[in-house]
C-alpha cells in the first residue's frame, strides 16, 4: 500500500442505510486517493456518519466529538467531519462547537472532496443541501463488511411519510428511487465477487417505483429482477411499511425461493389511537390483516417489528394494546425503543412528551420481557426442523463453531465441519435461546 496516500477513519452509527452510505463515502474518497484505516491515530480525516433518530444516538456522537477533538490536537492534525443525519439536523451548531471541520448531509457526499480541500482549522466547511434526485446510483460502494458474504444495496433514499415522531424525512429529504438497472448491476457485481446475499435498503421499500421511457418498475418487479441474478444469491430487504406492503410483493416472495422468508414490518404500537397520532396511516386491524396475508402465502415466514413505548399521551390501555398485539402476532424478534422527542417533528410541535421517563422505562421493560418470551417460544418451535443456512463466519461466542442465518432470519450456530463463509449448509435445530438456534450439521 502506498504510504503516502491520505488515510480516512470512519465510524458509522445508526441503521443499515448508514452502513451503506459509509461505503459510498469511502468509494468517493478512494477516488480522491484516500485509503481507509481502522486506526484513528493514523488518519488524516476522521469521519462520523451519524444518526438522529433518538436523542441517545446523538448524545453518543457528542461524546465521540470530544475524543476526536483530543485526537486532532494530539495527532497529525486530522480534519474532523460529521456527516449524515445529525449533520443535516444540527447544521451550523455543529460548526459552532469548534470541534468540527466539515459538516455534510446525506445528499452532499459527492461534494465531500471539495469540502475537504477547502477546510482548514479556522475555515470549517458545510454542505447540507438536500436533493430531489441524488441516489448515488453510479457509485460502486467500497464494502466494509468483514465476511464478504452479505452486502447492503441502497435502492432508494429519503422518505415521503411524515410519521409524527420521526426525524428521518427532515434529515434525509424526499423519497426517490434508484435506477433499477444499476441495482441489478450492483447485485451481479457483488455476486461475482463471492457475495451470496444482498439486502435491498430503503425507508419504505414498498413504495419503490421507477418510471422511465414507458417502463414502470415496482418493488415486486425489482425483487424478481435482483433474485434472477443467480438462484444462489439470497435477497433480503428492509424496511417494509404495513400500509404499503402489497400482495404482489408477498406473492413474489412466496414464488421465488431465493428471496428470504423474512419481513421486517414495524408496527410501532398496537393501539389505534396511538397509530393515528403517530400518523402511521394503518389500524391494528389492517396490520393484523397484512400479517395474516403473509402467513397464508408464506407459512414459514419470519416476521419482526419495531415498537415504541411511551409515545405522547400513551395510556396503560394503549400500552396493553401493544402487548396484546405482540402476543397475537408472535414476532420472531423486535427492536424496541422508548419514545424520544425529536426537535422539529410533528409530535414535538404538537404533542407534549408527557409520559414520565420512569413510566416509559417500565413499559419498555414489559415489552422487552414479553418479546423475549415470545422469541423463545418461536425459536423453540424450530427445534427438530432442518434449515438451510448461509455461513457468515465463526461464531462470536465460540470461534470453533460457525454462524449464519436461516432464510427467515434466525441466527444459527453449528459445528464448522470444514465449511466456510459463503457456503450454504443444511442444519438440524437441536436447541435454542431466545436469540439463537443451536444446530447440528445434517
Is residue 269 within the footprint of ligand SAM (CB under 6 A)?
no
CA distance 4 to 247: 55
> Which of 123, 100, 102, 124 shows the shortest CA–CA distance to 111?
102
Span near ligand SAM by CB under 6 A; candidates 32-40, 146-154, 316-324, 339-347? 339-347
Yes or no: say if 108 and 128 are a contact pair by the CB < 8 Å rule.
yes
Yes or no: say if 144 and 19 are a contact pair by the CB < 8 Å rule.
yes
Q: Which residues pair with 157 in a beta bridge?
A: 176
Dihedral angle sign, alpha carbons of residues 32, 37, 43, 48? positive
- Is the previous residue joined to 171 through a cis bond, with omega within 30 degrees of 0? no
Q: How distant, in Å, are the alpha carbons of 52, 210, 247, 312, 345 from that of 171?
A: 8, 23, 31, 22, 11
Using the rule CB under 6 A, which residue among 266, 302, 404, 422 binds ligand SAM? 266
> Which of 16, 428, 424 shows the shortest CA–CA distance to 230?
424
CA distance 130 to 414: 46
Using the rule CB under 6 A, which residue among 84, 124, 141, 169 binds ligand SF4? 169
Using the rule CB under 6 A, which residue among 52, 171, 268, 304 binds ligand SAM? 268
Span near ligand SF4 by CB under 6 A; candidates 92-100, 156-164, 292-300, 314-322? 156-164
Using the rule CB under 6 A, which residue among 24, 78, 90, 168 binds ligand SF4? 168
Using the rule CB under 6 A, which residue among 47, 83, 85, 166 binds ligand SF4? 166
Binding to ligand SF4 in span 222-261, by CB under 6 A: 241
b/e map 48-61, b = 16+ CB within 10 Å? bbbbbbbeebbebb
Q: How far is the CB of 306 from ligand SAM (least distance, A)?
A: 3
Span near ligand SF4 by CB under 6 A; candidates 159-167, 177-185, 190-198, 387-395? 159-167
Could you list the beta-strand ranges (E) of 326-415. Answer: 334-338, 386-394, 401-406, 411-415
C-alpha cell at 214: 414507458
Using the rule CB under 6 A, which residue among 18, 20, 203, 271 binds ligand SAM? 203
Q: How far is the CB of 441 from ligand SF4 (least distance, A)?
A: 39
SS3 state of residue 6: coil
Is residue 20 within the footprint of ligand SF4 (CB under 6 A)?
no
Is residue 139 within the footprint of ligand SAM (CB under 6 A)?
no
Is residue 154 within the footprint of ligand SF4 (CB under 6 A)?
no
Q: How far is the CB of 174 from ligand SF4 (least distance, A)?
A: 11
Radius of gyration of the chain from its Cα atoms, rounded to whole angstroms: 22
Using the rule CB under 6 A, which residue among 272, 306, 353, 388 binds ligand SAM? 306
Residue 169 touches which member of ligand SF4, ligand SAM, none, C-beta under 5-8 Å by kind: ligand SF4
Is residue 169 within the footprint of ligand SAM (CB under 6 A)?
no
Q: How far is the CB of 118 from ligand SF4 (least distance, A)?
A: 32
Q: How far is the CB of 279 from ligand SAM (least distance, A)?
A: 11
Binding to ligand SAM in span 46-85, by CB under 6 A: 53-54
Using the rule CB under 6 A, which residue among 10, 159, 374, 413 binds ligand SF4? 159
Amino acid at each position: 500500500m502506498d504510504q503516502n496516500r491520505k488515510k480516512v477513519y470512519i465510524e458509522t452509527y445508526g441503521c443499515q442505510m448508514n452502513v451503506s452510505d459509509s461505503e459510498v463515502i469511502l468509494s468517493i474518497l478512494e477516488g480522491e486517493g484516500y485509503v481507509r484505516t481502522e486506526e484513528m491515530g493514523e488518519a488524516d480525516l476522521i469521519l462520523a456518519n451519524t444518526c438522529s433518530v433518538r436523542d441517545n444516538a446523538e448524545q453518543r456522537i457528542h461524546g465521540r466529538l470530544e475524543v476526536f477533538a483530543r485526537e486532532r490536537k494530539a495527532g497529525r492534525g486530522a480534519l474532523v467531519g460529521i456527516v449524515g443525519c445529525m449533520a443535516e439536523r444540527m447544521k451550523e451548531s455543529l460548526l459552532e462547537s469548534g470541534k468540527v471541520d466539515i459538516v455534510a448531509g446525506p445528499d452532499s457526499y459527492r461534494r465531500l472532496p471539495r469540502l475537504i480541500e477547502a477546510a482548514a482549522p479556522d475555515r470549517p466547511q458545510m454542505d447540507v443541501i438536500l436533493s430531489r434526485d441524488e441516489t448515488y446510483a453510479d457509485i460502486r460502494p467500497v464494502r466494509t463488511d468483514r465476511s464478504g458474504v452479505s452486502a447492503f444495496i441502497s435502492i432508494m433514499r429519503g422518505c415521503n411519510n411524515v410519521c409524527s415522531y420521526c426525524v428521518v424525512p427532515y434529515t434525509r429529504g424526499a423519497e426517490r428511487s434508484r435506477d433499477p438497472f444499476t441495482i441489478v448491476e450492483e447485485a451481479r457485481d457483488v455476486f461475482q465477487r463471492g457475495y451470496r446475499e444482498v439486502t435491498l435498503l430503503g425507508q419504505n421499500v414498498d413504495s419503490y417505483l421507477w418510471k422511465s421511457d414507458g417502463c414502470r418498475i415496482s418493488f415486486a418487479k425489482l425483487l424478481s429482477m435482483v433474485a434472477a441474478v443467480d438462484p444462489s444469491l439470497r435477497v433480503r430487504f428492509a424496511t417494509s411499511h404495513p400500509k404499503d406492503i402489497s400482495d404482489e410483493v408477498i406473492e413474489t416472495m412466496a414464488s421465488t425461493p431465493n428471496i428470504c422468508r423474512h419481513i421486517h414490518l414495524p408496527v410501532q404500537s398496537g393501539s389505534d389511537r396511538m397509530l393515528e397520532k403517530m400518523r402511521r396511516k394503518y389500524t391494528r386491524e389492517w396490520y393484523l390483516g397484512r400479517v395474516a396475508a403473509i402467513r397464508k402465502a408464506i407459512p414459514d415466514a419470519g416476521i419482526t417489528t419495531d415498537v415504541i413505548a411511551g409515545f405522547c399521551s400513551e395510556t396503560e390501555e394503549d400500552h396493553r394494546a401493544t402487548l396484546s398485539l405482540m402476543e397475537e402476532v408472535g414476532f420472531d424478534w423486535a427492536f424496541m425503543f422508548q419514545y424520544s422527542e425529536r426537535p422539529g417533528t410533528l409530535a414535538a410541535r404538537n404533542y407534549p412528551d408527557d409520559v414520565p421517563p420512569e413510566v416509559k422505562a417500565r413499559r419498555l421493560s414489559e415489552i422487552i420481557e414479553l418479546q423475549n418470551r415470545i422469541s423463545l417460544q418461536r425459536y423453540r418451535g424450530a427445534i427438530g426442523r432442518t434449515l438451510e443456512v448461509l455461513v457468515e463466519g465463526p461464531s462470536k461466542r465460540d470461534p470453533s463453531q460457525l454462524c449464519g442465518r436461516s432464510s427467515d432470519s434466525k441466527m444459527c450456530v453449528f459445528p464448522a465441519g470444514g465449511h466456510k463463509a459463503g457456503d450454504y449448509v443444511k442444519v438440524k435445530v437441536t436447541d435454542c435461546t431466545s436469540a439463537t438456534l443451536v444446530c447440528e450439521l445434517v
